[in-house]
């Protein structure tokens, strides 16, 4: 027998162990195999001793306790087989939270130019420049503590085992394992059945479902709720679902109600059908902001008024779509003409065939034909090239106004990053929640997009003796006590756009809130006022005696308010929209010369009619 045959037999003996050949299943009878590709000995992932009869001996040396994908041990577990993927996850924004921390520091007037992350990270950005990011555990400002005690419970590196429908594991398991609403194990392992702090079963999600995304993305922007056509309203927890509030409950004792879901959701698309693995798991580079890591947009698949989606044919045997689609219902074939993301990377499930564009649902393999918008009149309106697609097509945008944050030094709370209780406890309450209409401003791309409060913090600090050292304190931002708004895609898209008449005539879109207009005094204001400043709470501007007053600012880098000239152009368009209310009217294909048109033979009498 040759040496190679001996080597093969030895390899089979050592590595072809399965769960049933170990003592692990003598206790954990009925436990599910993680997946068809993970049917090997338990110790390959969990460590320990699978020959020992006693629990203490068998569990000695286990990796990460119940979760071998925990960041504390993932290098010696998941990283053994998936080092490439693990190296990417270590730099993904969902693990580092760099952008969230930075913008929180900015909003709380605590940003001093240095970047922080959940861990100490030394890596490189997409330009090849070295990034040395400090661990937020060492941050000493109140914004740092707010992140550690409030926001960090959702980051990928943390085990969250509290809160109804909010449980998730740390590390790779945060996305690749599902949890029941109750947080209990419901699988066939009799030792674990009904116990909390475990995934729903021991079966892995190779393709994470929307329920996984919902566990984190149900607060702040609430994009997972909006996409599914849900929102957490307040009906005083009336028991409309039997003895429980409803229609549905979610973490924080909130009830969620239903509205129209995003058009992509209604077509059967899950979050993973749009978002690429490079966005979710990272692409190996460190990014300062979330929007830097995102590589898709509406135009990636639907094109623009001037061009079709860009494509590239698969001509290499190691092209990412070939191996990424191995676990889809259908595998992408060599030679397929794939659609490209905004960064020039191939989608793994969007392609062109016979002159048409298709998106393949990853889980079912169903093909959805994509409509493109090139040369459609309503998408070639002069000046609208600066609009984001979702500026017109958003059906609702979550807006939380008046975020009253209380920091009580008399109480303790868990610092999730440090892993210990420390002095000081945060709590929040809001003044008002709105969904539609929504204000517009200029985002980080220089395009007009919806904005939402981000955040309108009014801080109260209660000292150890019970005295308030700050009472609804408003932070300085961009040289003043300005309210902060952030560019935002609400993830509730509709086929039918906001009408031209509604957008241009409703002053909420222009940033004036509920907009009470006084023509004789040349004033525009909003009735919902902040008691602390006297300025409108739900507006970006007001007009007094014909003068535009700004009391809000946009927090993202390179973002800004629309400004006087842009608002003037937006409102002036009503001179035409009053009669020409359809965007496909050919008069909108070029810049309108109002003086010339309104003085021609047709319009002169209309304008001067008495």
List the chain domain ranges: 3-62, 223-269, 309-371, 386-574
Q: How many residues does the chain have?
A: 610
Mean local confidence (pLDDT), 11-34: 72
* pLDDT above 70 (res 235): no
State if pTM tops 0.95.
no
Nearest Cα neighbor of 342 from 304, 316, 310 is: 310
Q: Which residue has the higher pLDDT, 525 or 338?
A: 338
What is the predicted pLDDT for the residue at 234?
62
Which is nearest to 160 in space by CA: 82, 231, 212, 102? Answer: 212
314-319 average pLDDT score:
97
What is the rounded end-to-end Cα distance, in angstroms, of the chain? 107
Task: State residue 21's pLDDT score.
Answer: 62
pLDDT on residue 8:
45
Max avg pLDDT among 10-14, 25-29, 447-451: 447-451
Q: Which strands sit side by side in the sheet containing 356-360, from one edge to the other?
A: 311-313, 337-340, 346-353, 356-360, 367-370
pLDDT for residue 186 is more than 70: yes
Instruction: Report how far Cα 357 is from the mean position of its chain's Cα atoms.
Output: 26
Q: How far apart are CA 73 and CA 62, in angstroms?
A: 10
pLDDT in tens, 507-552: 999 999 999 998 888 899 999 999 888 889 999 999 999 899 999 9
Q: Which of 50-59, 158-167, 472-481 shows the lowest mean pLDDT across its residues? A: 158-167
Q: How far is CA 595 from CA 534, 572, 577, 603, in A?
A: 39, 12, 16, 11
Cα 530-532-537 angle, rounded to 5 deg? 20
Q: Is the dihedral of CA 50, 52, 55, 60 positive or negative?
A: negative
What pLDDT does 240 receive?
A: 72
What is the average per-residue pLDDT within 444-459? 94
Mean pLDDT (the chain) is: 91
Q: What does the H/E/C string look like for 462-485?
A: ECCCCCEEEEEECCCCCCCCCEEE
Say which residue, 357 or 607, is predicted with more confidence: 357
Q: Quote the distance between the C-alpha of residue 461 and its chain's center.
A: 30
Who contacts 568 (Cβ-Cβ below 8 Å, separation ≥6)? Answer: none
For residue 61, pLDDT over 50 is answered with yes
Are 519 and 596 contacting, i.e. CB atoms less than 8 angstroms apart? no
Predicted pLDDT of residue 14: 45
Q: What percent of the chain has pLDDT over 70?
A: 96
State pLDDT tens for residues 365-422. Answer: 999 999 999 999 999 999 999 999 999 999 999 999 999 999 999 999 999 999 999 9
Cα distance between residue 73 and residue 79, in whole Å: 9
Please write the tens of the pLDDT for every residue from 107-125: 898 998 899 999 999 899 9
Give the per-residue SS3 of 27-57: HCCCCCCCCCCCCCCCHHHHECCCCCCCHHH
Q: Bin 275: left if φ > 0, else alpha if -120 < ψ < 50, else beta.
A: beta
Q: What is the spatial order of strands in the sheet that 254-258 belongs to?
A: 230-231, 254-258, 248-250
Sole residue written with tokens 């594991």: 169
The mean pLDDT value for 452-459 works out to: 92
């Amino acid at each position: 027998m040759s040496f190679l045959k001996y080597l093969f037999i030895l390899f089979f003996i050592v590595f072809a162990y399965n769960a049933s050949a170990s003592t692990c299943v003598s206790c954990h009878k009925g436990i599910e195999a993680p997946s068809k590709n993970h049917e090997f000995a338990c110790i390959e992932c969990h460590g320990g001793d699978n020959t020992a009869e006693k629990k203490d001996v068998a569990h000695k040396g286990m990796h990460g306790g119940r979760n071998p994908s925990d960041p504390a041990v993932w290098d010696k577990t998941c990283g053994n087989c998936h080092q490439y993927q693990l190296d990417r996850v270590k730099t993904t924004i969902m693990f580092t939270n760099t952008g969230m921390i930075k913008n929180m520091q900015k909003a709380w007037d605590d940003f001093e130019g240095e970047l922080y992350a959940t861990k100490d990270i030394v890596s490189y950005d997409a330009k090849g420049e070295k990034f040395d990011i400090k661990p937020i555990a060492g941050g000493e400002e109140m914004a740092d503590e707010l992140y550690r005690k409030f926001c960090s419970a959702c980051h990928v590196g943390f085990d969250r085992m509290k809160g109804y429908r909010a449980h998730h594991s740390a590390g790779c398991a945060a996305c690749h394992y599902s949890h029941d609403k109750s947080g209990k194990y419901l699988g066939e392992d009799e030792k674990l059945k009904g116990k909390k702090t475990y995934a729903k079963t021991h079966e892995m999600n190779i393709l994470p479902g929307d329920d996984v995304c919902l566990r984190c993305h149900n607060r702040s922007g609430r994009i997972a709720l909006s996409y599914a056509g849900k929102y957490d309203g307040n009906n005083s927890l009336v028991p409309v679902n039997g003895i429980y509030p409803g229609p549905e409950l979610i973490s924080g004792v909130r009830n969620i109600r239903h509205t129209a879901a995003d058009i992509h959701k209604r077509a059967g698309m899950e979050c993973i059908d749009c978002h690429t693995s490079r966005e979710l798991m990272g692409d190996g580079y460190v990014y300062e902001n979330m929007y830097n890591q995102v590589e898709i947009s509406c135009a990636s698949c639907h094109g623009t008024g001037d061009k079709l989606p860009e494509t590239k044919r698969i001509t290499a045997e190691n092209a990412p779509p070939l191996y990424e689609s191995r676990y889809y219902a259908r595998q992408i074939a060599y030679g397929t003409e794939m659609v490209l993301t905004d960064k020039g990377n191939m989608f793994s499930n969007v392609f062109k065939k016979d002159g048409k564009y298709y998106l393949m649902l990853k889980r079912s393999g169903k093909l959805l034909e994509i409509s493109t918008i090139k040369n459609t009149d309503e998408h070639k309106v002069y000046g609208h090239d600066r609009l984001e697609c979702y500026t017109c097509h958003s059906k609702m945008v979550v807006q939380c106004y008046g975020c009253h944050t209380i920091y009580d030094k008399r109480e303790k709370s868990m610092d999730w990053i440090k892993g210990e209780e420390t002095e000081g406890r945060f709590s929040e309450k809001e003044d008002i929640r709105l969904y539609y209409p929504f204000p517009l401003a200029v985002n980080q791309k220089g395009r007009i997009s919806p904005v939402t409060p981000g955040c309108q913090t009014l801080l109260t600090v209660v000292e150890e003796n019970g005295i308030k050292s700050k009472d609804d304190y408003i932070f300085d931002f961009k040289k003043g006590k300005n309210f902060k708004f952030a560019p935002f895609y609400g993830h509730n898209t509709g086929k039918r756009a906001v009408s031209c008449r509604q957008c241009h005539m409703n002053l909420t879109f222009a940033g004036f809130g509920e907009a009470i207009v006084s023509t004789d005094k040349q004033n525009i204001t909003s009735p919902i006022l902040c008691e602390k400043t006297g300025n409108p709470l739900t507006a970006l501007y007001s007009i007094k005696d014909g003068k535009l007053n700004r009391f809000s600012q946009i927090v993202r880098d390179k973002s800004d308010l629309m400004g006087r000239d842009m608002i003037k152009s937006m409102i002036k368009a009503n001179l035409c929209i009053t009669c020409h209310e359809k965007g496909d009217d050919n008069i909108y294909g070029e810049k309108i010369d109002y003086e010339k048109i309104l003085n021609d033979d047709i319009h002169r009498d209309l304008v001067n009619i008495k």
